[in-house]
Structure 1
């Protein structure tokens, strides 16, 4: 179980001081007639009297089916073994103990100055040192609360712990320990989005380290599957990446949530339970016990291949299949165990040509300038720990739109100088990112862009940087192969093509640079086409 970044599924509503605490300390009351109850632990045993027939409005209607209560409380609250009067309240007696686990209780804490907590921070837009965290540091507490408070369909508990044993890991997690001797730093060791003004995002190095961690954990052979939790806008990208590069025969699945844990109609808890059900069922395994489906996102009782799913709205059910083909591989609704609906044809995990164990330890990158020339340089990409974080490829997305400013040069051809953003990125890549490339989100499904952008991207190609063309938005067809120096992104979205191109750069390295990227010779063009064909083979199969 890996806790990833900015994960709503690991996020909880702000802890607000209850009215019981406000009454106790003479603080202004909140208008709600009820206190919100939050999971907390008892410090000592306590005996409680539970009113009989209060669990459901129609319990009393079936009173004849019930055994006698444990006793009665009179009007003064005194307990009696025998019913003292007709108006006495029947009760059950229960001893609640600390070792029972969490109980829903009023939140009694206040700020250090004695005032009530009204939000996560001590004040609106409080700096990190004056704001509490709402994300769990890992999923251990999440799973405990699901099992403690979740209800199965027939009134029994949700059986996570009896279904499997869990190991919990933190891979670029959403919450961190800032008061420990080895204090963690937000934006470096953990990545939150709430409070919104404190949002942080992980970088390429964090992706490399998380990949190495997942690979190392699975290399022990002790696990039957992986659950990955991440923010809903990006979880599909990370899962697709892990399915490309992690060498494993066990399933890799991920979950997200549109609503925070503990909030009204929170969807993440059910997604986690469904994920455990999918993994322990073995439905994705072949006769040799190897995963045959690949990395998947399990949300809303459906199993999507990570390659073919994207978030389209911030609500349960807000996911769609992209690319126009397949996407949903199993269903967790209805009766019985999960049922597969089809098997993906794309390579993944132990069948991937991009898995970590077969990637080279170094590849060729490019360096130099467009004016003075571009040359190849060796880039160490893998060591004993796995991926080298500093070598992670830089791939950016550029997007086509009609009615852009464009002009032609003296020869009547499109002028790449108009695409200042693309040329600036090429120059920056040559200066600091020897492994780099572009994804052009062009016409749907063709993948083509306007002539000036195409010309600028051709400069990138002949400077050693591969360029992938994809259709715009949720294309329903395959990007065309109109120029053999460009890679066709198949039916991938631009974001998924970016992940695949990053992995492909770690395997194949840079394209052979031309002496003058603005004017390649026929031989240089032929060499580039040959190199691009190797990239194309990966995009056609992964």
Structure 2
């Protein structure tokens, strides 16, 4: 027998799963009571929760006299059965030895069939002729769950469904959704596919910032997620967020909803950990946000997929199974059972740090670890295995977790008369939850060292930066800017730097990051007026600044941006020190 490290992964997983089944089956009642329960959160624009469109089967087309599906050469296509529920019990006859081409080769090892079906399709307990087929008789019941069956649905006008919508370019109201509203259906299909998902844990499903929604609402009795009451009619772009022909990206205030729901659920004491499901381009940001904001000692694992469910070799289901195994493994736990890794992303059999993980390309295996110093905690190829542990602050150690944020914060806001005044921003409600309107606005700017027209800096020529400053001060009491410059010093053009200094003097903190996947840490420069972004990518720096603004508030403003006093600069640098410490440690 080959060593474990050389054994194919599926074989190792099957062996481990078989062992778990023995334990569960033969265990005591106490062991059954200790079965872990995992909270599963649905995030936005999520391929891992998306399906190939339901296409009317040839069974339905033949039954209703519609043109059959054929390939380019005119051959009738084989139906793709889709998981559906039976409405009533039905007895079916399954041909013996049809599950594998070589079953009949060892027919002597099998028990006799339940009976035989003749050429007319009639069942008998005894064989009546040489052409009778041996069969198993099985009664399928609605309570069995999902079964793969021909899809019989048609459009209201009687035509076949060939895509999600009734006709090309149809409005959203005349289209079907492909994203599921919560993770329960995905887990049920994984179980029916032989994933063994129910033997690993119990699950509750939460629609945090979902990809699919109930446009007509849903009665409480029909909910498949964990929640109370009826679901009111939901609107695309407000309550759920998808991509494709009817795309609606998630909105900034949803960062509060995301954090509040995860915080509340994990504080309930019911769960062994959490799984967050989101679209592949943005899951890296949500994972880092949760690592900064959620005050929990439990593990949080994020997953995405690069291929829709239903495509050959869809990768999402395997990632979900790996997250469950990661949570159950407890490799994340320190000696006191506390999560020592923060939020991770378990993807393509790799355990990534939420802080460093980034989508490198749009295919499975394309996630990378940024920053040049770690970013990969371990592997899932032979069971959960860690190779390093982070020193960064996260979750229950984060200085920016929800419990550590103030109830109120000061901010700057420009009046209609053009005067900037101090205002109070309510960060949390009486229950300690983040308020959507409190989430700061952070703009991102790209540096260009070839942009200046001469060697003399001209901040007034940076109309885009000036407009950004005016917009932030005029609409958002808590706001900041992230400027991406050259690696490793995050340098931008002289005019851009001067314009960004004017932003700082007006109370807006500015973070400087290095472009690309820089491996060098941006050196802290106490002589400038910027926050150096360490080795964070620009998008991750924006999230960290967003959280830090709620903690520390804006910078002090100077009376005259053209002539700041020494005392004013000292006050600014003292406040910048608080921000810089967070960027060095989180």
TM-score normalised to structure 2 length: 0.87
Q: Which residue of 2 aligns with 1:68?
A: 112
- Pair 1:6 & 2:45 matched: yes
2: CA distance, partners of 1:218 / 1:79: 55
Which among 208, 218, 221 is matched to residue 171 of structure 1?
208
Rounded to whole Å, the distance in 2 between the matches of 1:203 and 1:107 is 35
Residue from 461, 464, 467 that aligns with 1:418: 461
Is residue 2:156 matched to residue 1:112?
A: yes
Q: CA deviation at 1:288?
A: 1.4
CA distance in 2: counterparts of 1:370 and 1:458, whole angstroms: 24
For residues 398-437 of structure 1, the aligned pairs below 5 Å read: 398-407=445-454, 412=456, 414-437=457-480
Q: Where does residue 57 of structure 2 map in the other structure?
A: 18
Consecutive unaligned residues of structure 2, counting only runs of 5 or more, are: 1-39, 71-75, 219-231
Residues in 2 aligned to 1:235 and 1:461: alpha-carbon distance in whole angstroms: 31
Normalised by the length of structure 1, the TM-score is 0.94
Pick aligned residue for 1:464 from 507, 519, 522: 507
Please say if residues 12 and 260 of structure 1, whose CA atoms lie closer than 8 Å, have aligned partners that are also in contact: yes
Distance 1:459 1:244 in 2: 29
Displacement of 1:370 in angstroms is 13
Indicate the residue corresponding to 1:255 in structure 2.
303
Q: Using the TM superposition, give the Cα deviation of residue 160 of structure 1 relative to its aligned residue in structure 2, in angstroms.
A: 2.2
Q: Report Cα offsets for 1:320-342 as digits up to 9, x if no partner.
A: 000011111121112xx311111
Deviation for aligned residue 1:450: 0.9
Q: Which residue of 2 aligns with 1:273?
A: 321
**1-structure distance, mates of 2:521, 2:398:** 21
2 CA distance for matches of 1:391 and 1:461? 21
> What are the within-5 Å matches in structure 2 for residues 380-391 of structure 1?
380-385=426-431, 386-391=433-438
Contact 2:512 2:531 in 1 (8 A): yes
Of 371, 375, 397, which aligns to 2:444?
397
> What is the CA-CA distance between 1:506 and the residue it aligns to?
0.6
Q: What is the aligned partner in structure 2 of residue 160 from structure 1?
A: 197
Mapped to 2, the partners of 1:87 and 1:433 lie a distance apart of: 80
From the superposition, tell whether residues 490 and 30 of structure 1 become closer, same or farther in structure 2 (CA, over 3 Å).
same
Matches of 2:418 and 2:149 in 1, distance apart? Answer: 69
Quote the offset at 1:114 in angstroms. 0.8
Deviation digits for residues 97-136 of structure 1 (CA, Å, limit 9, x no counterpart) = 1111101111101111111111101111211111111111
Q: CA deviation digits over 1:433-468, x for unaligned, max 9?
A: 011111111102221111111111111111111111
Structure 2 contact 452–494 (Cα < 8 Å) conserved: no
Give the equivalent residue in structure 1 for 2:334. Answer: 286
Contact 1:3 1:138 in 2 (8 A): yes
Q: Deviations over 1:395-446 (max 9, x none)?
A: 11111234224456xxx4x111222111111101111101111111110222
Q: Name the structure 1 match of 2:243.
A: 193
> 1:237 corresponds to which residue?
285
Structure 1 segments of 4 or more deviating over 6 A? none
Of residues 502, 519, 524 in structure 2, which corresponds to 1:481?
A: 524
Aligned residues of 1:460 and 1:517 also touching (Cα < 8 A) = no
Residue matched to 2:372:
324
Q: Deviation per CA, 1:74-93: give whole Å up to 9, x if none.
A: 22222232333333322221
Higher mean alpha-carbon deviation, 57-66 vs 528-537, is at 57-66
Paired residue for 1:352? Answer: 398
For 1:23 and 1:518, the matched residues in 2 are separated by 79
Residue 155 of structure 1 corresponds to: none
Please provide the CA RMSD for this pair: 1.7
Q: Which secondary structure does the structure 2 equivalent of 1:382 belong to?
A: coil
1:227 alignment partner in structure 2: 275
> 1:448 aligns to what?
491
Three-state SS of the structure 1 residue aligned to 2:250 is coil
CA contact (8 A) 1:370 1:517 kept: no
Distance 1:370 1:308, change over 3 A: farther
Write the distance in 2 (CA, Å) between the matches of 1:371 and 1:326: 50
**CA displacement at 1:521 relative to structure 2:** 2.3
Q: Residue 35 of structure 1 aligns with which residue? A: 79
Task: Determine the C-alpha separation between the residues in 1 that align with 2:562 and 2:188.
Answer: 60
Distance 1:324 1:66 in 2: 58
Determine which of 298, 301, 304 is the counterpart of 2:346: 298
CA distance in 1, matches of 2:198, 2:334: 26
* Counterpart secondary structure, 2:377: strand
CA gap of 1:58–1:513, structure 2 versus 1, over 3 A, is: same
Which segments of 5 or more consecutive residues in structure 1 lack a partner in the other structure? 152-157
SS in 1 for 2:253: helix
1:179-237, Cα deviation, whole Å (9 max, x unpaired)? 1272111110111113x2x1001212111122111111122121111111110100010
| Distance apart, 1:526 and its partner CA | 1.9
